[in-house]
Structure 1
Amino acid sequence: MIYLFILLVFPLNIISENDDIVQTSLVNLESYSKDKLSYCKERAKKEDLIWSEEFNENSLSSNTWHYSTTNGFYDGRKYISGWGNGELQYYTKPSHDNKNLNISKNLLIENGFLKIQPIYKDKRSRISKSESSYNFTSARINTKNLKIFSFPSKISICFKVPKGTGFWPAFWMMPVDNVKWPKGGEIDILENRGRISNISSSALHFGKRWDKKSTLVGEALIPPHVRFQDKFHSITLIWKENSISFYLDNSEQPYFIVDSSNKEFNKYEYPFNREYYMILNVAVGGKYDDYLVNKNSFCNDEKCSNKSDPDKHRFIIDWIEYETL
């Protein structure tokens, strides 16, 4: 059989799960017929590039990134643990020894790759905001007040995700103007479940408040021989006024597209025509994958000495690009 198209994108289903509307598309590219370490898209032309992060230094730039810490946040005077999702990890920051490099036991840079590794250690189970009370630690970094992103633009990330039940790696954006969630919108460029090797999802969250909102989700389903855990892939957000679309690798067709004419915006205002900042993290457990966790999937120390291939248990980012349309 001869195919006339380089790209095949087939919408498989649209289902409603609680307040989430999920669309899954099969993405099969001609490039997948060749065995490669990376299927990421071609790099942006220099004249189109606004900013990029290459991770070519051993240190993480403190002019671009800083750390979120603890296991939650304050909503007024109320502390919301688990980041509102039932997550198990405590986010750490650089120790005194690593402060100059801006890296931590949960975040390192090696050979041009940023690596985020959750660590499991059996600790006391009492509830507290202290790191010593949590079995899992991880890292979460963001560009808030340091680097701003807006439309019209294209944002791409080249990445590989960790393998094992309980990993929740993500690359996402939140509004600069601190509008209370979800009124200002949330753009999830990529999210993966560690136990599922061939699906990566993108999502848009919006609404009036946490109990009056909508979530639109697009899932990219790929062939098993090019799994997200084994090969590098890229996801590209094309961001226009009143329109957002997501592309996998060198695809010319989006696996997920949303614009302001979607019927969900008859209920809630379209919020995505504003400035955002970036977030990179790996959560542990949580409602994204029904709170499933296998502690044996995780590194036990900073060197991940309990694993024969530590990178299999890390969220690895090769590069991030921000370019004009």
Structure 2
Amino acid sequence: MPDFKSLLDKAKAKAEGFAQQHNIPTQFPGQGQQYPIPPPNHPNQPYAPPIPPNKPVFSPAAYWQPSFSPSTPVSNNFKHQLGAHGWGNNELQNYISANENSFHTPENKLIVRAISSNGQYTSARLTSHKTLSKQRGSLIAVATPPCATGIWPALWLLPNEPFQWPNEGECDILETWNADCINHSCFHWGQFNGEDWNKHRVMESHIPDMSSGRPIRYEFVWEQDERADRNTGGGRGIWYIDNRAVMKAPIPAGARRMSDWQIIINVAMGGNVCQGKTPANGHYDMIIHELKLCDEPTGGWSRFEADWRAGPEGHP
């Protein structure tokens, strides 16, 4: 069972860093009124083992699927976000567009590589040109995240730029750090203060074999009425890991419409979230085996409805 105070401290550090980057003031529970937060990994929500390889999983057809062919430049599908300014979180890496930090393999995989070399740190941060584009659909990513001290890989969503963070929302699908083998599924749409304390949904999923190098299947399914807007809100999201629903959350008033969000893939190094720990010399690869946007989720919309009724809610 992870230390919950440590998890909370990491969440605070992440939020403070992002807020600093965007010049946003923050206040946390603990700096004023205290709010109860359920512990992670509730006993009635254990992590289920992955589906055996001999059991087929229906994978819906894609309306967008980037080519990871070596003949296709990474920049065809993604913008490289660049910089060594700490990204508001005292991170170590310089995000660059060099081929050694982001490339396609002969096996048609996308690699985002963080490199630590005698106190020099380079990595890549990719933002998709494509937005989710539709009122409802499914994002499927099969990925092998790096698992090491001082390493913070993520596959997540932010609204198309320009946007106001965190008021317009943030959605984290794959996020883990310091080799703790815990994935953080999150939806944020407000500050970490007394007024907005409940505007966050989070679920920690322990994946015991995360460091084994096996591909992990992530899926985020969203559904919004065409009439929903930032004033009225409306909509639902479910997060899956290895074909199991691990969290559900509403899409509230104030968040940007999901059709206008983009995919981000990056590997950060060090910083507040990693509690100041630094990676050893070497390279650390986020391997994206498959990435696509689909009109329907795995198992269809009837399964989504069943999972919405029975799935676990993220805690604040």
Q: Which TM-score applies when normalising by structure 2? A: 0.69
Q: What residue number does 1:105 align with?
A: 100
Instruction: Answer whether contact 1:120 1:137 (CA < 8 A) is retained.
Output: yes
Indicate the residue corresponding to 2:183 in structure 1: 200
Aligned 8 A contact 1:153 1:240 in 2: yes
CA drift of 1:177 comes to 5.0
For 1:107 and 1:27, the matched residues in 2 are separated by 31
- The Cα shift of 1:286 comes to 2.0
SS at structure 2 position matched to 1:62: helix
Percent identity for Structure 1 against Structure 2: 23
Map 1:71-150 to 2 at 5 A. 71=84, 81-94=85-98, 104-110=99-105, 111-122=107-118, 135-143=120-128, 146-149=129-132, 150=134
Deviations 1:265-313 (A, max 9, x none): 6xxx4415341111111000122232222324x33xxxxxxxxxxxxx3
Q: C-alpha distance in 2, partners of 1:13/1:70?
A: 33
**Aligned-partner Cα distance in 1 for 2:155–2:214:** 17
Find the aligned partners of 1:316 and 1:93 in 2 and give their Cα distance. Answer: 17
Q: Are residue 45 (structure 1) and residue 60 (structure 2) matched?
A: yes
Specify which of 228, 238, 245 is matched with residue 245 of structure 1: 238
Q: Which amino acid aligns with 1:259?
A: P
Task: Report the AA paired with residue 59 of structure 2.
Answer: A
Aligned mates of 1:60, 1:228 — CA distance in 2: 29
Does the alignment pair 1:184 with 2:168?
Answer: yes
Question: 2:48 is matched with which residue?
Answer: 28
The 1:105–1:212 alpha-carbon spacing in structure 2 relative to 1, beyond 3 Å, is farther
- What residue in structure 2 maps to residue 308 of structure 1? none
Partner residue in 1 for 2:73: 60
Q: What RMSD in Å do the two structures reach over aligned CA positions?
A: 3.2
In the superposition, the TM-score normalised over structure 1's length comes to 0.68
Matched, 1:293 2:278: yes
CA distance in 2, matches of 1:23, 1:243: 22
Residue 258 in structure 1 maps to residue 249 in structure 2: yes
Aligned to 2:21: none
Residues 85 and 215 (structure 1), Cα distance of their counterparts in 2 relative to 1, 3 Å cut: farther
Matched, 1:70 2:70: no
Unaligned runs of 5+ in 1: 1-11, 72-80, 95-103, 124-134, 300-312
The equivalent of 1:153 in structure 2 is: 137
* CA 1:167–1:66: 2 relative to 1, 3 Å: same
The 1:138/1:193 distance shift into structure 2, 3 A limit, reads same
Give 1:188 shift: 1.1
Q: Secondary structure in 1 aligned to 2:87?
A: helix
Structure 2 unaligned residues grouped into runs of 5+: 13-27, 30-36, 225-234, 297-316
Q: What per-residue deviation string (whole Å, max 9, x for no partner) do you get for residues 127-166 of structure 1?
A: xxxxxxxx211011112xx311143111010001113101
One-letter amino acid matched to 2:273: Y
8 Å CA contact 1:244–1:259 kept in 2: the answer is: yes
Matched, 1:321 2:292: yes
Looking at structure 2, the residues matched to 106 and 317 of structure 1 have their Cα atoms a distance apart, in angstroms, of 14
Query: Which of residues 250, 255, 259 is equivalent to 1:271?
Result: 255
Distance 1:210 1:93 in 2: 36
Cα 1:56–1:63 change in 2 (3 A) is closer
- The 4+ residue runs of structure 1 with deviation greater than 6 A are 12-16, 209-212
